């Protein structure tokens, strides 16, 4: 789904999608072949977002507020520009649910009133996907 796009579920909940995160292995990749600067969320991605209630975020990485907790499981990763952009979105939309990957280690928690799930990777168990909870 394109960054900033939304989808309304049959029950009325709105999902916003916002992919993007910096590759931790970009030094071993080739610019324009398997690494692109556009992988990071930019200010341009945050422009013209809808002025609606968003109930669920599905993103690649997490907001800054979760980085320190997630680094405990995956110390190779850390703060990157996409986290800051997602923090700005979290403050604007305050979704009820947030689902993301990038950290490749299942974890869940609550950030203020937002329930969040960090999904695993396919090779790391069965927590790499989830059904959306009922409304």
Q: Per DSSP, which regions of the chain are E strands?
A: 6-8, 14-18, 56-59, 97-100, 107-111, 114-118
Per residue in 7-21, pLDDT tens? Answer: 999 999 999 999 888
The pLDDT value given to residue 74: 64
Per domain, the residue ranges of the chain are: 6-124
The pLDDT value given to residue 126: 77
Q: Sorting pLDDT into bands at 50, 70 and 90, what band is 97?
A: very high
CATH topology for the 6-124 domain: Transcription Regulator spoIIAA (3.30.750)
């Amino acid at each position: 789904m394109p960054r900033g796009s939304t989808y309304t579920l049959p029950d009325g909940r709105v999902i916003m999608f916002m992919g993007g995160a910096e590759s931790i292995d970009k030094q071993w990749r080739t610019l324009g072949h398997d690494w692109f600067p556009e992988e990071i969320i930019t200010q341009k991605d945050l422009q013209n977002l809808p002025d609606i209630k968003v109930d669920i975020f599905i993103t690649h990485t997490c907001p800054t507020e979760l980085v320190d907790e997630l680094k405990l499981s995956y110390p190779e990763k850390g703060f990157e520009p996409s986290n800051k952009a997602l923090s700005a979105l979290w403050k604007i939309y305050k979704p009820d649910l947030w689902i993301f990957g990038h950290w490749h280690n299942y974890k869940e928690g609550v950030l203020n009133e937002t329930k969040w799930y960090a999904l695993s990777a396919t090779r790391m168990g069965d927590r790499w996907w989830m059904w959306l909870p009922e409304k």
